[in-house]
Amino acid sequence: MTKEEVLVKMQEIFRETFNDTSLVITEDTNAEDIDEWDSFNHINLVASIEKAFDIKFALGELQTLENVGDMITLMITSKL
Amino acid sequence: MLFSTFVFILGFLPVVFLGYFILNKKKLLIASKVWLIFSSLFFYSWWNIAYLPLILASVLFNFILTNSMLHVKASSVMNKKVLLLIGIIFNVGLLVYFKYMDFFISNVNALTDSEIALLHLALPLGISFYTLQQIAFIVDSYEGLVKKKNFLDYTLFVVFFPQLIAGPIVHYKEVMPQFESIKNKIFNYNNIALGMFIFSIGLFKKIVIADTFSIWVHQGFDVAYTLSFFDAWIASLSYTFQLYFDFSGYSDMAIGIALLFNIALPQNFNSPLKATGMIDYWKRWHITLTQFITAYIYTPIVRSFVPLTFHKAMFATLLVFLISGMWHGAGWTFIFWGFLHGISVVINHYWQKKVKIKMPQYLAWFITFQFLNFGNVFFRATDFDRAISILQSMVDYHHILVSDYLIRRMRYWGYSVEKLDGYSAAHSFVDVDAVLMIVLGFIIALGFKNSTQLQQAFSTMKRVSIRWYLWSILLMSLSFMVMSFQTTTEFLYFNF
Amino acid sequence: MHKKSYIYFFIIGTFLLVMLLPLFNYTVDRWRVLHSDYEHHYAGHMCNKTFLKTKYVIAHPKAYDTLLMGSSNGGYMDSTKISSHTYNMKYNFGLLAIHLQNLKTMLKQGVKIQNLWVGINDYIIWKDPKDYENSFERRPYKATILEDMKTYIFYLFRKPDITDWYLWRGRYRLVTADIITHPHPHTEAKKREDAHFKIPKKWKKHMKDIAPSLLRYDDTSYRIDAAIAEIKALKALCEKHHIHLTLFMYPAYYKNYILYNQSKIETFKRKLASVMPFYDFYRLNHRAYDAMKWQDGMHFAYSTGDFIINSIKQHKALVSVANIEAHLEEIKYEAKESLAHQEGMYMFHNSIDVPSKHIVFDLQKQYVYYKNSPGFTLKEKNATLVMDVKTYDTSMVLAPIATHYQKVFMSVDITSSQKTLLRLYYKDNPKDEYHESRRFLYRLKKGRNSLNIAIPSRYVNNGLRLNLVDDKDIYTIHKCMMYE
């Protein structure tokens, strides 16, 4: 998958998790940009992403993810 | 060995530094690694060589275990998951045995009226830290994050002396690439200058500030029979400052020393006493521990609760703080301290999520600081009774015991005070020094840039200004002078 | 500066700044040790006499035939009266253990003497020499290179205090003095003594009113066997080097004597007599009471010093195994008698027998009169009384008691769980009111306290007011009796 394809799919997941159909995300989007993106929704978000892409994030990886771009890079290089 | 001794600063450190870079220059890269490992073990054994076999066995066992994970088949009985379990049980088991056995036994004795003998095991140095560091490694290995490694690299990662005894807790992938990098094999003036600079700050914090507070802490928590109102506040505030300056000073020294070897250790403190909320506090205090607990304890727990609700997350938070409390010490006061912090973080989350009123910053800071100070009484007191007694003295407005010193002062000012109704003269250790020092503590902790910010500023400077130079030699020389006055010191987090 | 220069300047700068500390301490050299200064000391501040004197004697190994060792009391002995080549080794709080160490050092460095006079104090049985090893005023001189280095570091890297600042600023000048080079007789002390004795009446009143100086004595831990071991070692050392050893015990002013546990002193003297004969001036004879024989509460006058030297030369007051028991009996009797006739009101240790056993008052039997006082209650419990104090009014007014002798002795034995005060109020005339100016005060410590108080009869005749304690608490009174 390309970065753009991943991004599009991610956007769907974000919209669903945060219950906002007009939400737009870019590679720079991080927790500060979205009000609802607190540590609890983060866990749910990650779980949804894992389910949707059929991947698993390692515990050791989770804390290094600063923004959407980091997540996508990680997913593309090691999982997809 | 302690960082804040002459034998370390003037003896051990220069020798290890020279040895490392001379060996590197001669391109004897394996030898230089062995040199670092050997020096680190020497550093560790200086206290008591009896614990050396244990740490070596732990390193060896964990290395073999994680190595097997690379080769094992998913279908066999001894698959990765089983190895993971064995690894965790082994490491946690070792920690539990040395640290908590007597605690369990004494509780069993109390509950069932039995008389099982206590083991009286002394805690091996740094076991709480190297255990956590290796558990993180085992989990990372299990999840496939660790690609290649050899025995020397792994050993160096665990025993590297700046962070061996009291952190910062590091990840393999943070540290090993730095050791591998060829650039880092040549000594770097920028790093050495920066390292010395940070080390002098850390040393000053520990020797001049924290050790001064330790006098009143010892008086208030260990020695005094009853405390007056002023004594209790002096003792508790002194401890809050001692804990901060001692531990953050230690971390500063660790970071500074590692920089001499071109290794950047992660930040461990970020002005925690400036925190305006308990969630904020734990992002600023013992940062590497918070990160470890969040990644390897909290996350697995909440992942198993998916879909995650707010209340389930709060439950997990509380649980994790209880565990943290236990990690800090084998005693009910520590567990209670963990409980207090857990509850307060939960309340903070509630406030943030449900109560939409934003608290003024000063009020938020004040409440947070008071809470921290209160909680620290449990952290330091030797038992519950002592903690409660000190807290009582802190709030016991009606029975302010007036010290002899105050009575004399009042007489001098014309107020004849033999006995005031309801009060009685009590021995007090309150003096002007203590109050001044506490004021100074507030000024330094709240008013100045913290060492990480200073580090940033120093490293971006092309040339060091005279002002910065003079400050750093002042801090260093004052520390040396005070070191020459001192006889014994206490490193607080050393019992971990 | 560049980062590279920073590194070098950091090391150099720190080193230079740190060196300011030993530089300062060396310049001030409060105890004159670093300069080995035999000739000066700061006005009003004592130098490290034991260090300097030992070093001085070693520098003049054949100049003296006799050494006089002891504590500050030894200063008021004129060593020229012992012999023309006597050196007075005394220093404040001179303990035998340290003198012994100094002697060993001196002999090892080739000092030759024929006689050694050693004076010991009552506090030899409880003061621990270890308390003085690491004090700046009394760190002894040891002539090895390693010890020299340790001493230098000890003094150069110590924490300066405000006094050092004053000395550096010249508030106190360095004065030339001969206390190291010619320690006999101590001219300043002689001047002081003459000034005190100018008006005998004034001096006598002064000595009558002064407080005892107990030097933190608390009657709990003793080191009698250790002291005896030190003396044995001293004796052996002298025998080995063919030095004639003269051992004597200084006299004490009565106010201090009566507060010491004399039964412990007796044990010590007994053991000492079996080791070697010694001269015993430590007793409650007229010298202990005569103000004109004392420079102050701790130091005897030069006349007493002369008396000691003469007595020793004439072998008077010599005690040995043969006469120790008789001697101790004599002293005990003398103490009792002198107490019975001594004026004034004072406290004394319960190891000294009360002169008489005729009971004139016993609280255990008469507590019913006080048991429901407004401020406290008294209850009987086994053979003791329990006093529960509720307010600060702890007064018990005792009825006037007729007596036949000059003195009445009160014995109190009370256990307290905190520090508090015992007060005894007395009246000169029956119609007087009790007043703070007519009060005897004693500080009770936490735990068990037992004391004896000698009270002039007329106060007992006029009725005493007794405030046994001063704080709200519960106390156990084991004994409160008066004898005459």
Are B313 and A44 inside 8 Å of each other by CB? no
Distance CA(A80)–CA(A54), nearest Å, equals: 9
The pLDDT assigned to B256 comes to 95
Give percent of chain C with pLDDT exceeding 90.
Answer: 31
Q: Write down the domain spans for chain B.
A: 6-182, 192-495
The residues pairing with C453 across neighbouring beta strands, listed in sequence order, are C347, C410
The pLDDT assigned to C348 comes to 84
Q: With 80 as the cut, is the pLDDT of residue B405 above it?
A: no
Banded pLDDT at B225 (limits 50, 70, 90): low
Are B464 and C1 inside 8 Å of each other by CB? yes
Residue A15 burial by CB count (10 A; 0-12/13-18/19+): exposed, middle or buried? middle
- The residue with greater pLDDT, C74 or C327, is C327
Mean pLDDT check: name the lowest of A60-64, B246-250, B478-482. Answer: A60-64
| Average pLDDT for chain C | 88
Q: Tell me the count of A-B CB pairs closer than 8 A.
A: 48
Spell out the residues 6+ positions from residue C233 whose beta carbon is closer than 8 angstroms to its own. Answer: C100
The arrangement of strands across the sheet holding C439-444 comes to C395-397, C465-467, C420-425, C439-444
Chain C hits for B481, Cβ within 8 Å: 18, 21, 157
Q: Are C71 and C49 in contact (CB under 8 A)?
A: no
DSSP one-letter code for C90: -
| Average pLDDT for chain B | 86
Are C3 and B189 inside 8 Å of each other by CB? yes
Strand pairing class (C115-120; C86-88): unpaired
In the block, which residue shows the tokens 């040790």? C33
Chain C hits for B473, Cβ within 8 Å: 9-10, 13-14, 17
Q: How far is CA B82 from the centre of its chain?
A: 32
Q: Are C412 and C453 in contact (CB under 8 A)?
A: yes
Per-residue pLDDT of B103-125, as tens digits, reads: 888 888 888 878 788 888 888 88
The architecture in CATH of the region C359-483 reads Sandwich (2.60)
Per-residue pLDDT of B258-317, as tens digits, reads: 999 999 999 999 999 999 999 999 999 999 999 999 889 998 888 887 677 888 889 999
Give percent of chain C with pLDDT exceeding 70.
Answer: 99
Residue C28 burial by CB count (10 A; 0-12/13-18/19+): exposed, middle or buried? middle
Q: With 60 as the cut, is the pLDDT of residue B489 above it?
A: no
Q: With 80 as the cut, is the pLDDT of residue C446 above it?
A: yes
Q: With 90 as the cut, is the pLDDT of residue B254 above it?
A: yes
Per-residue pLDDT of C471-484, as tens digits, reads: 888 899 998 999 88
The pLDDT assigned to B35 comes to 95
* Residue among B268, B253, B243, B258 nearest B328 (CA): B243
> What SS3 class is residue B480?
helix
Distance CA(C244)–CA(C81), nearest Å, equals: 17
Q: What is the mean pLDDT of residues C145-153?
A: 86
Distance CA(C70)–CA(C89), nearest Å, equals: 7
Q: With 60 as the cut, is the pLDDT of residue B493 above it?
A: no
The pLDDT assigned to C228 comes to 94
The DSSP secondary structure of B146-213, one letter per residue, reads -----HHHHHHHHH-HHHHTT-----HHHHHHHHH-GGGGS--HHHHHHHHHHHHHHHHIIIIIIHHH
What single letter denotes the amino acid at residue C303? S
Going from the N-terminus, what domains does chain A have, and what CATH number goes with each?
A: 3-78 (1.10.1200.10)
Per-residue pLDDT of B1-15, as tens digits, reads: 889 999 999 999 999
Instruction: Write out residues 188-247 of B within 8 Å (CB-CB) of A.
Output: none
Q: Are B462 and C3 in contact (CB under 8 A)?
A: no
Q: What is the mean pLDDT of residues C96-103?
A: 90
Locate B481 and state its tokens: 């002078």
Banded pLDDT at B383 (limits 50, 70, 90): confident
Q: Quick check: do C and A touch, 3+ CB pairs under 8 A?
A: no
- The residue with greater pLDDT, C59 or B149, is C59
Per-residue pLDDT of C195-205, as tens digits, reads: 888 888 989 88
The DSSP secondary structure of B370-438, one letter per residue, reads HHHHHHHHHHHSSSHHHHHHHHHHHH-GGGPPEEHHHHHHHHHTT---S--TT--EE-----HHHHHHH
The pLDDT assigned to C346 comes to 82
Banded pLDDT at C212 (limits 50, 70, 90): confident
* Residue among C98, C125, C129 nearest C224 (CA): C125
The answer, for C136 touching chain B at a CB cutoff of 8 Å, is no
Banded pLDDT at B424 (limits 50, 70, 90): very low
Q: With 80 as the cut, is the pLDDT of residue B428 above it?
A: no
- The residue with greater pLDDT, C391 or B210, is B210
Per-residue pLDDT of B164-184, as tens digits, reads: 988 799 988 889 899 988 888
Mean pLDDT check: name the lowest of A26-30, B436-440, B445-449, C10-14. Answer: A26-30
Task: Centre a 10 Å sphere on the Cβ of residue A51 and count the other Cβ atoms it contains.
Answer: 11
The pLDDT assigned to B133 comes to 92
The residues pairing with C442 across neighbouring beta strands, listed in sequence order, are C422
What single letter denotes the amino acid at residue C327? H
Min Cα separation B161/chain A (Å): 24
Q: What is the mean pLDDT of residues C242-257?
A: 92
The residues pairing with C451 across neighbouring beta strands, listed in sequence order, are C412
Task: Please name the member of A40, A60, A63 whose beta carbon is closest to the beta carbon of B139.
Answer: A60
Q: With 50 as the cut, is the pLDDT of residue C75 above it?
A: yes
In the block, which residue shows the tokens 């001794």? B5
Distance CA(C152)–CA(C175), nearest Å, equals: 23
The pLDDT assigned to B425 comes to 43
Q: What is the mean pLDDT of residues C111-137?
A: 86
Banded pLDDT at B201 (limits 50, 70, 90): very high
Determine which one of B71, B328, B341, B427 is catalytic. Answer: B328
Chain B hits for C6, Cβ within 8 Å: 193, 196, 464, 469
The ipTM assigned to this model is 0.86
Q: What is the mean pLDDT of residues C267-278?
A: 94
Spell out the residues 6+ positions from residue C48 whose beta carbon is closer than 8 angstroms to its own. Answer: C31, C32, C33, C136, C137, C138, C139
Query: Three-class SS string for B314-346?
Result: HHHHHHHHHHHHHHHCCCHHHHHHHHHHHHHHH
The answer, for C175 touching chain B at a CB cutoff of 8 Å, is no
Q: Are C156 and C164 in contact (CB under 8 A)?
A: no
Q: With 50 as the cut, is the pLDDT of residue B418 above it?
A: no
Q: CA separation (Å) from A40 to B268, B287, B342? A: 24, 20, 16
Per-residue pLDDT of C351-379, as tens digits, reads: 887 777 888 889 888 888 887 788 888 88
- The residue with greater pLDDT, C310 or B224, is C310
Q: Write down the domain spans for chain C.
A: 21-341, 359-483
Locate B221 and state its tokens: 């928590």
Distance CA(C228)–CA(C43), nearest Å, equals: 38
Banded pLDDT at A48 (limits 50, 70, 90): confident
The architecture in CATH of the region C21-341 reads 3-Layer(aba) Sandwich (3.40)
Q: Are B301 and B474 in contact (CB under 8 A)?
A: no
Q: What is the mean pLDDT of residues B452-471?
A: 91
The pLDDT assigned to A60 comes to 80
The pLDDT assigned to B370 comes to 94
The pLDDT assigned to B345 comes to 93
Spell out the residues 6+ positions from residue B362 whose beta carbon is closer than 8 angstroms to its own. Answer: none
Q: With 50 as the cut, is the pLDDT of residue B420 above it?
A: no
* pTM of the model as a whole: 0.81
Q: Is there a catalytic annotation at residue B427? A: no
The pLDDT assigned to C276 comes to 94
Instruction: Write out residues 59-78 of A within 8 Å (CB-CB) of B.
Output: 59-63
Per-residue pLDDT of C455-466, as tens digits, reads: 999 899 998 999
The answer, for C13 touching chain B at a CB cutoff of 8 Å, is yes
